Amino acid sequence: MLTYVNKSNYLLEYNYKKYYLKEGDAFFIDCSNPHHYGVHQDSANIYFIHLNGPNLPKLYHYLTHSKGIIRSEVDAVQVGLKLKQLFELLNTQSSIINGHQLSVLIYELILSYNKGYKETVIMEEGVVSQAIKYIYEHMNKSISLDDISSHVGLSRYHF
């Protein structure tokens, strides 16, 4: 779950540690770990998105391993802006939401969480390397795009 604290103070308990967050902070947690969150004072305004998928644990580890789960005001500004854009898109009166635009916003949101993130690093260590390994391991068989994309956890249309 990726969260941005828009107003007030916020309390996060994650993996049995307490974090006191202020306006402008962001945090990224793995919701399968013990967690509890709430308002530290009277009220708070937050933006959050719950992410899920087969590649998320690797991405979570990569994004939080070097800098931890909390981003302070300066580093979190882009996270807040991207989350606001995402909510504005989802709250439009239009009944048709552009799936490509939504995907790009979520992608940019994840990138904004870690300024040092490099797309090629994730691609080389993730989906592409899994696909290459699968192809090498099955060179003596007839394999299809569906086989490869299924193995790496992507739709054939996104592979």
Average pLDDT over all residues of the chain: 78
Q: Give Dmax (Cα) for the chain.
A: 64
Locate 123 and state its tokens. Answer: 């691609």
DSSP state of 94: -
Nearest one of 121, 123, 126, 113 to 55, comparing CA atoms: 126
Co-location of 6 and 25 in the same domain: yes
CB atoms within 10 A of CB 109: 21
Residues 24 and 67 both lie in one domain: yes
Asked whether residue 13 falls in the same domain as residue 38, the answer is yes
If asked whether residues 81 and 149 sit together in one domain, one would say no
**Hey, what amino acid is at 88?**
E
State pLDDT tens for residues 21-34. 888 888 889 888 89
Same domain, 37 and 66: yes
| CA distance linking residue 122 with residue 137, whole number of Å | 22
The β-bridge partners of 2 are 28, 49
Domain residues for 54?
A: 2-117
Indicate whether 35 and 101 sit together in one domain: yes
- Work out how many domains the chain is built from and give that number: 2
- According to the per-residue pLDDT averaged within each range, which of 51-65, 86-100, 107-121 is highest? 51-65
**What is the rounded CA–CA span in Å between residue 136 and residue 36?**
44
Q: What token pair was written down for 21? A: 């967050």
Please report, for the domain that includes residue 38, its CATH number.
2.60.120.280
pLDDT of residue 74: 65
